[in-house]
Amino acid sequence: MKNNFPKQATEAYWKEKLSEESYRILREKGTEPPFSGEYNLHFEKGSYQCKACNNPLFLSEQKFDSGCGWPSFDDAIEGSIETILDKSHGMIRTEIVCNDCGGHLGHIFNDGPTETGQRYCVNSLSVDFNPA
């Protein structure tokens, strides 16, 4: 993992810019409750970007309904995501963060049903949607 992200800011800046819940997820590595996010069953054409820094992350064509309760994507826009080994909560997972600001997005799993075999499991509160 790199220590330096191009769009770095102070925690005071992020607290002012983000809602309390988005700050908890993006900056403190929180998770929203399953089936609660506005983008879980959202399938309009467009793209999803980091709520903190507006970095484009996913395209609507990459989204699918995994039934897990969080927005799921089978791939990301090339170069938009950084992966980090996550050994928290007694599990071994792969965390996904925005490659521009380091904001926590969720985790990636190798159980996706599409040809990529991947499931990027993302918190709705960590992204914004840009209609096509």
pLDDT in tens, 95-122: 999 999 999 999 999 999 999 999 999 9
Can 121 be counted among the known catalytic residues? Answer: yes
pLDDT, mean of residues 69-88: 96
Q: Grade residue 77 by pLDDT with cuts at 50, 70 and 90.
A: very high
Question: 2 falls in which pLDDT band (50, 70, 90)?
Answer: very low
Closest to 31 measured CA to CA, from 125, 113, 129:
125
pLDDT at residue 38 greater than cutoff 70:
yes
pLDDT mean over 4-29: 94
Q: What is the pLDDT of residue 1?
A: 42
pLDDT in the model for residue 72: 97
> The domain containing residue 39 runs over which residues?
11-131
Integer CA distances (angstroms), 12 to 23, 33, 84, in order: 11, 25, 24
Q: What's this model's pTM, rounded to 2 decimal places?
A: 0.94
Assess if residue 6 is contained within a domain: no
Q: Does a structural domain hold residue 1?
A: no
**What is the arithmetic mean of pLDDT over 9-26?**
96
* DSSP category for residue 124: G
Average pLDDT, the chain: 95
How many domains does the chain fold into?
1
Q: Is residue 79 part of a domain?
A: yes
Q: Which of 50, 53, 98, 121 is catalytic?
A: 121
In a domain, 3, yes or no: no
CATH of the domain at 60: 2.170.150.20
CA angle 103, 57, 71 (to 5 degrees): 85
pLDDT at 8 over 90: no
**What DSSP line would sit under 4-51, residue for residue?**
--TT---HHHHHHHS-HHHHHHHTT---PPTT-STTTT---SEEEEET
Answer yes or no: is 54 within a domain.
Answer: yes
Segment 73-99 mean pLDDT: 95
Instruction: Report if residue 23 sits inside a domain.
Output: yes
- CA-nearest of 107, 117, 90, 129 to 29 is 107
Residue 123 has pLDDT above 90, yes or no: yes
